[in-house]
Amino acid sequence: MCRQGGDGSILQQRQRFCSYSSAGFTKHEIDMLKKENNKVEVHSATPAHPGHKISTWLKWLVASAFSVLVPFLKQKWDNLLLLEGKLEKAAEEVEYVAEVVEKVAITTEKVSAEVANNLPGNSKLKETALIVEHLSSVAASDAQLAENILHKANDLKEDVEELEKIVKPVIDQIGHVKHVN
């Protein structure tokens, strides 16, 4: 009825049970021995430090979200690259216009200042020349601000291109793995 021998722990437990049942133990004693043999000690694979446990789960969460979002981002990324070309062309044109406006405004400001200096005291013409000088100064400042914004946008574009160089191989690899499966 009971097989003797074997190295497996299940067989050894059965052997102990068979030897107990044949040794005249009561059913209650046999049940207690079964429960004792079925106790399993569970050791955690992760350290008990809760901070480490949270960071591990956070890593898993971020990695899972990234793997889900990457295929969607690839399509959007391609559309953004097309839009980028159009925006770059428009930015070049705006920068050119801003440079021209700045040059015209600076020249107008200088001419208005000279005219205002050569006109008599409280004349309407002098007031008008001073107003034109002030407006030219404001226009020159605004044109300079527009150029600064365009330079910042160009810096941002370069940062995005660097990011693309880093992310594109990962996206391509994930896309390749998805197509293989």
pLDDT above 50: residue 68 = yes
- Tell me the per-residue pLDDT of 94-143, one tens digit each, with 9 for 90 and over: 889 989 999 999 999 999 999 988 888 888 988 899 999 999 999 999 99
Whether 30 and 18 have beta carbons less than 8 Å apart is answered as no
Alpha helices in 4-49 (DSSP H): 9-22, 27-38
The chain-wide mean pLDDT, for the chain, equals: 75
Residue 20: what pLDDT? 47
Q: Comparing C-alpha atoms, which of 137, 65, 70 is closest to residue 101? A: 137
Q: Is 147 exposed, middle or buried (0-12, 13-18, 19+ CB in 10 A)?
A: middle
Structure tokens at 3: 């097989």
Instruction: Count Cβ atoms within 10 A of the Cβ of residue 129 and give its class: 0-12 exposed, 13-18 middle, 19 or more buried.
Output: buried
Task: For the chain, give the percent of residues with pLDDT over 70.
Answer: 67
Cα angle, residue 84 at apex, residues 82 and 86 outer, rounded to 5°:
80
In tens, the pLDDT along 137-159 reads 999 999 999 889 888 988 888 88
Overall average pLDDT of the 17-31 stretch: 59
Residue type (1 letter), 107: T
Which pLDDT belongs to residue 86? 85
Q: What is the mean pLDDT of residues 56-62?
A: 77
Q: Pick the residue with more confidence: 120 or 67?
A: 120
Domain ranges in the chain are 9-38, 73-180
| pTM across the whole model | 0.46
Residue 23 identity (one-letter amino acid): A
